[in-house]
Structure 1
Amino acid sequence: MSIFAVEYVYDADSSELRNEHRPAHREWLQRLADEGRVLSAGAFEDGAGALLLVAAADEAGLHELLKEDPFASVGAISGMKTTAWKPAIGAFADHA
């Protein structure tokens, strides 16, 4: 398994859409966290996006998984960047 840093970008005018679908989005994230696939996730304090740390076999599998996010299915994510990440020190180093 590899760890990926996933950065979501939100449009400022999508806050109402995100608020409507946030419960389903968080349920999805929590299910994946319970399965050990989401290591951490949270919104940026400025509301412009979020960061997810996700364990996946490869980038193709990661992108298939991210398509299941309720935010993705309703168009609440305006941009996304995924980067393979290899933590060397700290809480996530054992996952790499």
Structure 2
Amino acid sequence: MSIFAVEYVYDADSAELRNEHRPAHRQWLQQLVDEGHCLSAGAFADGAGALLLFVAEDETGLIALLKQDPFAAVGAISGMKTTAWKPALGAFSDLS
């Protein structure tokens, strides 16, 4: 298993769409937290995107999972970057 940092980018004009679908998005994420797939997630303070930390076998499987995000289903994410991450210190270092 590897840890991946996922960055979502949101268009400024998608705020209403995200607000409408946020409950489903958070429910989806909470389920993934409960299952141990998502380590943490949260929006950037400026509202321009979000950072999510996932545990996954590989990037291909992670991307397939991210396509199930309710935000993705309604087109609320304008860009996404996934990066394998190997934390050396701190809360997640024992997972990598």
Q: By the TM > 0.5 criterion, same fold?
A: yes
> Which structure 1 segments of 5+ residues have no match?
none
Instruction: Report the alpha carbon displacement of residue 62 of structure 1 after superposing the two structures with TM.
Output: 0.4
| Superposed counterparts of 1:71-86, under 5 Å | 71-86=71-86
The SS at the match of 2:94 is helix
Tell me the percent identity. 80
Q: Which residue of 1 is the match for residue 70 of structure 2? A: 70
C-alpha RMSD of the superposition: 0.3
1:50 equivalent to 2:50? Answer yes
Q: Tell me the number of residue pairs that the alignment of Structure 1 and Structure 2 aligns.
A: 96
Q: How far does the alpha carbon of each residue in 1:11-69 deviate from its partner, in whole angstroms, 9 at most, with x for none?
A: 00000000000000000000000011000000000000000000000000000000000
Unpaired segments ≥5 residues, structure 2: none
Match of 1:17, SS state, is: helix
TM-score (structure 2 length as normaliser): 0.99
Give the TM-score, by structure 1 length. 0.99
